Structure 1
Amino acid sequence: MWGAAALVLVYLILRLLGPILMPFALASVFAYIGDPLVDRLEERKLGRTPAVALVFVGLTLVTALGVLITLPLLLDQTQLLIQRLYGFVAWVQESGLPALRQYFDLPEQSSVNTAKEALSKHWSAAGGLLMYVWQQVSGSSAAVLTWLANMTLVPVVTFYLLRDWDHMMARIRALLPRRVEPKVVGIARECDEILGAFARGQFMVMLSLALVYMAGLWLVGLDLALVLGLIAGLASIVPYLGFIVGILAAGLAAYFQFDSWWPLLGVAGVFGAGQVLESVYLTPTLVGDKIGLHPVIVIFAVLAGGQLFGFLGILLALPAAAVIKVMVLHAHEAYQSSDFYAAAGDVKESPE
């Protein structure tokens, strides 16, 4: 009873504080990832604060170097992608829609003059539409500014969380009732092992697939190889999503770039090889069976997290699913060790 009420209360609080939780959630993830590095530096007789500063500066330099190297290429590819999208829209208007009208015997589109007359007759509605568009644009600008302000909090919160991480964990452990403290600590260690395996393994899988897709699309000759390969690699956090998004986007880009069907076969070969490499080697080697989440569970977790908590829910869906898996396994073990389960077995096996 009290447990269910506490879960409902936590859910309501998360829903109300959702807009401001993003930088703190990201900072917690970065602090969790960086804590083992800081602990290793402490083992070498380095103080906690200097160790945190060294790890923080190192990660910042690596991130900045990666951004400086890839950002110009990504900007060029993004600009080219926008140009290709404009070309695709023009093709749809000039060739695609007329072909569909002819095939399905649909009426022709109204002329420009007819549209102008309709607009002049419904000027008030058009004014309302313009006001709506302006509100959306201004709201988007405010959202961008809010996002930038939140992102500036991430390094600050990460530094303080990383510095006090062990102290906070010790405080939480001290608050646990002594009777359940060993069991809770054991479960927490199992969750830590699973989350560590997921964070390291899944990141390496995504990075490897992104490199494979970028190299393969570059060999095919696709102009958008970098940005499409990177998008497909990042989307591979959800099973088969990177393959589906990548092959559709790259296939469409190859269709408009080349006059031959052979590049489309090359794109299909690149993503087919990437999918086989992920299933046969990357995921078993880098992630292994420590997480053991079924693909259907992964897809459901991501969709449920997005539905409940937006982008924050998508970000934390798989780690939360891994932790819930550990909880369910321990609950199942406790159930099988309970008197209720033993009594049910006795009743089932008793002769009629």
Structure 2
Amino acid sequence: MLKIFMDWYRRRFSDPNAASLMIVIVSLFIIIYFFNKILLPVFIAIVLSYLLDTPVKYLSNKGIPRTLSVIMVLLIFISIVLLSVVILLPLIWQQGVSLVRNIPAMLTFLNEFLTTLPQKYPELIDVGLFDSVIQSIKDRVAQTGNSLLQFSIVSLFSLLSVIVNAVLVPIMMFFLLKDKEKIWNYCSKALPRNRRVLNKVATEMDQQIGNYIVGNVLHIIILFIVMYIPFWFLGLDYALLLAFIVGLSVIIPYVGIIISTIPVILVALFQWGLSAEFGFLVAAYIVVQMLDGNVTVPLLYSEKLNLHPIVIILAVLIFGGLWGFWGVFFAIPLATLVKAIINSWPKTPPTKLTKQSS
């Protein structure tokens, strides 16, 4: 047994490049796992820098100096963020608080709707069970609503830290965009010398993470706008909030679409019942989701990841459990990173090992 383990160890770790790669991976994992809250502004700045790197490169290729390109792109980005914070976020927050307050009434309506079902299917449905389940959900929602209101009051006291991060993040973004090559060269000095495999994996992941972040953000914005149009046209309550939830659902592969569909259907059912408007909304929702899956996703994610759905779901569960929101957001790139490491990992032929041992 020990001989088998030692043969496997020599085959996988005898190459100095493999040892260097493992040291860097373990070091990054320890730093991110234990210091993720402290380094959160740094992570946000890195993600946004990846997002803005494409327009900066575009302006630089047009002959504009890189520093001036970074300043122009940052000013446009900050202007868009400020407009969103001033106009969109307050409306979404108000609709969210209003929706939480109205959920007990919506559940009461749903309870009344469900109580009519036992008359049609008395042998399948227990009215008492429905009443207890609905009442339990209403109590939990009421507690959530109170907690949400308390959170909105308590969050005012953390405004100082938000302001500090709002100043630090753009500054870090400026230097990350302006001195990207210098920063990478400086960090390379601290890396092991035998880093051929590490450089290969880093180059591949740098491109894939950049494409993934840009594609994911564009996907959220496009789905949010396209979904808001039929919601607004049909007069659905909380249209802005629900479209925002549907847009964010792309962060969680496969599961997100199911989660975001539930509030849309419940709000529409509460507002219109089983009517023609409800049917139009469901039809529009299905059409938009089909167009999104067959048109938007292939255009934005042109590079095939070749990851099985089970692998993606496991990545969401594992990395989401480790790092929360950011683990879920980067679940697919992290799964791709693991795959790239496995494929690039140097292997020593068993015959060579046998000759060396003899």
Q: So what's the TM-score if we normalise by structure 1?
A: 0.71
Q: CA deviation at 1:85?
A: 2.3
In structure 1, what is the equivalent of residue 76 of structure 2? 58
In structure 2, what is the equivalent of residue 161 of structure 1? 176
The letter for the 2-side match of 1:64 is L
Alignment of 1:90-169 (within 5 A): 103-104=128-129, 146=161, 149-169=164-184
In structure 1, what is the equivalent of residue 99 of structure 2? 81
**Contact 2:252–2:329 (CA under 8 A) maintained in structure 1:** no
The letter for the 1-side match of 2:319 is G
Between stretches 217-226 and 76-85, larger displacement belongs to: 76-85
Q: CA deviation at 1:26?
A: 0.4
Between stretches 43-52 and 136-145, larger displacement belongs to: 136-145
In 1: Cα distance, 2:103 partner to 2:277 partner: 19
Indicate how the Cα distance of structure 1 residues 294 and 263 shifts in structure 2: closer, same or farther if over 3 A, else same.
farther
In 1: Cα distance, 2:128 partner to 2:344 partner: 60
Between stretches 260-269 and 228-237, larger displacement belongs to: 260-269
In 2: Cα distance, 1:291 partner to 1:304 partner: 18
**Contact 1:250–1:267 (CA under 8 A) maintained in structure 2:** no
In 1: Cα distance, 2:163 partner to 2:105 partner: 32
In structure 2, what is the equivalent of residue 33 of structure 1? 51
Alignment of 1:207-286 (within 5 A): 207-286=221-300
In 1: Cα distance, 2:210 partner to 2:41 partner: 21
**Contact 2:92–2:241 (CA under 8 A) maintained in structure 1:** yes
In structure 2, what is the equivalent of residue 324 of structure 1? 338
**Contact 2:220–2:248 (CA under 8 A) maintained in structure 1:** yes
In structure 2, what is the equivalent of residue 126 of structure 1? none
**Contact 2:50–2:214 (CA under 8 A) maintained in structure 1:** no
In 1: Cα distance, 2:282 partner to 2:212 partner: 28
Q: Aligned pair count?
A: 311
Q: Deviations along 1:123-181, whole A, 9 cap, x unmatched? A: xxxxxxxxxx9xx9697666676455444432232223223222112223455566644
Does 1:307 pair with 2:321?
yes
In 2: Cα distance, 1:342 partner to 1:232 partner: 55
Where 1:328 maps in the other structure, the secondary structure is helix
In 2: Cα distance, 1:274 partner to 1:82 partner: 26
The unaligned stretches of length 5 or more in structure 1 are 108-132, 345-352
Indicate how the Cα distance of structure 1 residues 289 and 342 shifts in structure 2: closer, same or farther if over 3 A, else same.
farther
In structure 1, what is the equivalent of residue 312 of structure 2? 298
**Contact 1:35–1:165 (CA under 8 A) maintained in structure 2:** no
In 1: Cα distance, 2:313 partner to 2:322 partner: 14
Identity of aligned residues (%): 27
In structure 2, what is the equivalent of residue 191 of structure 1? 205
**Contact 2:242–2:264 (CA under 8 A) maintained in structure 1:** yes
In 1: Cα distance, 2:228 partner to 2:71 partner: 34
The unaligned stretches of length 5 or more in structure 2 are 1-12, 14-18, 119-124, 133-146
**Contact 2:219–2:296 (CA under 8 A) maintained in structure 1:** yes
Q: Deviations along 1:296-335, whole A, 9 cap, x unmatched? A: 322222222221122332333333223223222223xx44
In 2: Cα distance, 1:270 partner to 1:229 partner: 13
Taking only aligned residues, the RMSD between alpha carbons, in angstroms, comes to 3.9
In 2: Cα distance, 1:53 partner to 1:106 partner: 59
In 1: Cα distance, 2:350 partner to 2:220 partner: 45
Indicate how the Cα distance of structure 1 residues 26 and 143 shifts in structure 2: closer, same or farther if over 3 A, else same.
same
Give the greater-gyration-radius structure (CA): 1
In structure 2, what is the equivalent of residue 172 of structure 1? 187
Does 1:340 pair with 2:350?
yes
Q: CA deviation at 1:31?
A: 1.8
In structure 1, what is the equivalent of residue 3 of structure 2? none
The letter for the 1-side match of 2:183 is M
Indicate how the Cα distance of structure 1 residues 274 and 184 shifts in structure 2: closer, same or farther if over 3 A, else same.
same
**Contact 1:247–1:268 (CA under 8 A) maintained in structure 2:** no
The letter for the 2-side match of 1:241 is V
Structure with the bigger RCO (C-alpha within 8 Å, sep 6+) is 2
Where 2:247 maps in the other structure, the secondary structure is helix
Between stretches 147-156 and 86-95, larger displacement belongs to: 86-95
The letter for the 2-side match of 1:51 is S
The letter for the 2-side match of 1:157 is M
In 1: Cα distance, 2:160 partner to 2:103 partner: 27
